[in-house]
Amino acid sequence: MSRGTLYLVGTPIGNLEDMTFRAVRILQTVDAIAAEDTRHTGKLLQHFQINVPQISYYEHNEAMRVRELLQRLQQGEKIALVTDAGMPGISDPGYELVKACVEAEIDVIPIPGVTAGITALVASGLPTERFVFEGFFTHQKLKIDSLACKP
């Protein structure tokens, strides 16, 4: 039996019209969609009339799901990984699954979409010849007192 394929599908960052034709086609043809939040992804799938089973894949079940998804991929299934917005693996779950697939010699195919960092950069007016991305800001409130220098 041939090995399956993992597709890393970039999804819109707020505007469903940013979804690519290729991403829709891939999501229509895979055996399963591993989603960061199945409720959120369900709205996307409903909008594009995609009826493929979802499986939850998020930060707190990632270790368990990697084994399960890897087994399905080794049995020849095609699985798409999506996150709530943007590209899987960039400040979102995905790295561990990709790493396991590469080690198991399972094809990993990225399906590009919009990216928040690049989109913000090109609209910022800042120079774009060189830049560094060090992740997104934390969702936690910063404690200013902890950042201040103390005598």
Phi (first) and psi of residue 103, to 5 degrees: -65, -30
Q: What is the mean pLDDT of the chain?
A: 88
Domain range enclosing 39: 5-124
Distance, in Å, from the CA atom of 93 to the CA atom of 10, rounded to the nearest integer, reads 13
pTM reported for the whole predicted model: 0.84
Q: How many structural domains comprise the chain?
A: 1
In a domain, 151, yes or no: no
Q: For residues 120 and 52, what is the distance between their CA atoms, to the nearest angstrom?
A: 32
CATH of the domain at 41: 3.40.1010.10
97 occurs within a structural domain: yes
Quote the Cα angle for 140-134-23, to 5°: 95
- Read off the pLDDT of residues 99-135 as tens digits, 9 standing for 90 and up: 999 999 999 999 998 777 788 888 889 888 888 877 6
| pLDDT cut 90: percent of the chain above it | 62
Rounded to whole angstroms, the Cα distance separating 64 from 46 reads: 27
